[in-house]
């Protein structure tokens, strides 16, 4: 085989710094890769030019004719992405981080208690998925702790009313303790590239372990002091599932900054707001101060939750601080 072979492609299944693992999916044959020099994608200023899920072209190093599992190949280009999930990088308001690309389904894993995932984080993740074309469902994990406590159960019922009843998101309840929802989770992942994401401590690694027990990913207890999880996953990685499909594990995310959304399109990524916005007296309507605003009226009447509306206002405030485009 020539060392100058062209059009060799593979999928990125892990990245740690400047080192990558690739595989020729659907075949699972991991091999290392590196970038020589600077590789930047047009129009996207990111801290990571290549993300897990990217389809890349590569070449062999001079004098090497095949992948041997030890010597890295060289990534030369990244194919256009059909979708991706991106967030503002920590402490870098003008730089972004791509979590994963070319995803068939994103599963946002949340918990109602211990840790209690904050709703603005959930809303920002859901909005980003909608804006960048990623189908998303919500997984309420550790559901055994919900049914064991009446106060937590009441909080879950409110959550279900707001996110499923009003906003229309699918919610899957899971528990690795009693097996709730695990068969449904397996079916959701079958034959797909699925991203499992969420804040630290919600049990992503435990869910992946039960989907593929051979992985034996590290897990950790929740801190009693601050009710927060510890990072057990330290890099982004795709894992194969026993029957078919792949799951992408991510480090726990504590903050989620919105990226590159227009102020006048933001409300369209809130399904319950989009449904009624056509009844607003003025077009366009910011749903903040205009008379005859149907969205504000629905908030006042409890048809749209005040919590979700406040998340929307918080994202608009981000815009006023220059964190995404006007």
**179 shares its domain with 242:** yes
Identify which of 110, 202, 237 has the alpha carbon closest to the alpha carbon of residue 164.
110
Question: Are 238 and 153 contacting, i.e. CB atoms less than 8 angstroms apart?
Answer: no
pTM for this predicted structure: 0.87
- Per-residue pLDDT of 120-148, as tens digits, reads 999 999 999 999 999 999 999 999 999 99
Q: How many CB atoms lie within 10 A of CB 263?
A: 16
Same domain for 92 and 25, yes or no, is no
What's the chain's length in residues? Answer: 326
DSSP lists the bridge partners of residue 12 as 22
DSSP string, 56-115: EEEEPPTT--S--SSSPEEEEEEPPPS-EEEEEPTT-TT-EEEEEES-SEEEEEE-SSSS
In a domain, 175, yes or no: yes
Q: Give the CB-side neighbour count of residue 240, counting CA atoms within 13 A.
A: 14
Per-residue tokens: 226: 């601050």
146 and 69 within one domain? no
Do 285 and 236 belong to one domain? Answer: no
**248 touches 238 (CB < 8 A):** yes
Question: What is the domain-level CATH number for residue 298?
Answer: 1.10.40.50
Q: Is 90 exceeded by the pLDDT of residue 87? A: no
> Where residue 39 sits, what CATH number does that domain have?
2.40.50.140
Q: 122 and 55 in one domain?
A: no
* Residue 326 within any structural domain of the chain: no
Give how many domains the chain has, as a whole number: 3
Provide the pLDDT for residue 224: 41
- The predicted-structure confidence for 196-245, as pLDDT tens digits, reads as follows 999 989 999 999 999 998 887 665 544 343 444 444 556 889 999 998 99
Q: Would you say residue 165 lies in a domain?
A: yes
User: What number is the average pLDDT over the span 24-31?
Assistant: 94
The enclosing domain of 151 has a CATH number of 3.40.50.300
* 64 and 192 together in one domain: no
**Co-location of 70 and 27 in the same domain:** yes
Can you point out the beta strands (E) in the chain? 8-16, 19-23, 31-35, 55-59, 73-78, 84-88, 96-101, 105-110, 136-140, 171-173, 193-197, 236-240, 246-249
Question: By C-alpha distance, which of 227, 228, 207 is closest to 219?
Answer: 207
Range of the domain at 307: 266-320
Q: How many CB atoms lie within 10 A of CB 285?
A: 21
26 falls within a domain: yes
Does residue 91 sit in the same domain as residue 231?
A: yes
């Amino acid at each position: 085989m020539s060392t100058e072979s062209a059009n060799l492609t593979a999928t990125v299944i892990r990245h740690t710094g400047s080192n990558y693992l690739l595989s020729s999916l659907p075949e699972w044959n991991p091999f290392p890769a590196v970038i020589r020099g600077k590789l930047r994608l047009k129009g996207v200023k990111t801290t990571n030019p290549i993300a897990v899920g990217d389809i890349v072209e590569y070449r062999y190093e001079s004098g090497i004719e095949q992948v041997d599992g030890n010597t890295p190949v060289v990534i030369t280009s990244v194919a256009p992405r059909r979708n991706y999930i991106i967030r503002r990088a920590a402490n870098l308001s003008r730089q972004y981080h791509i979590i994963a690309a070319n995803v068939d389904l994103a599963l946002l894993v949340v918990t109602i208690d211990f840790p209690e995932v904050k709703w603005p984080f959930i809303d920002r993740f859901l909005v980003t998925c909608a804006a960048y074309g990623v189908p998303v469902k919500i997984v309420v994990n550790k559901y055994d702790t919900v049914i064991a406590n009446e106060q937590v159960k009441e909080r879950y019922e409110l959550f279900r009313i707001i996110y499923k009843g009003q906003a229309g998101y699918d919610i899957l309840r899971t528990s690795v303790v009693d097996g709730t929802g695990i068969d449904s989770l397996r079916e959701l992942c079958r034959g797909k590239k699925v991203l499992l994401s969420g804040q630290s401590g919600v049990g992503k690694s435990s869910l992946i372990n039960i989907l593929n027990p051979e992985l034996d990913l590290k897990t950790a207890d929740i801190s009693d002091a601050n009710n927060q999880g510890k990072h057990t996953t330290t890099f982004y990685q795709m894992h194969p599932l026993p029957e078919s499909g792949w799951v992408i594990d991510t480090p726990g995310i504590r903050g989620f900054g919105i990226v590159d959304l227009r102020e006048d399109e933001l409300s369209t990524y809130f399904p319950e707001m989009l449904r009624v916005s056509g009844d607003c007296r003025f077009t366009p309507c910011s749903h903040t101060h205009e008379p005859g605003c149907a969205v504000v009226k629905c908030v006042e009447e409890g048809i749209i939750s005040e919590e979700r509306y406040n998340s929307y206002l918080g994202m608009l405030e981000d815009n006023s601080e220059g964190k995404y485009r006007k």
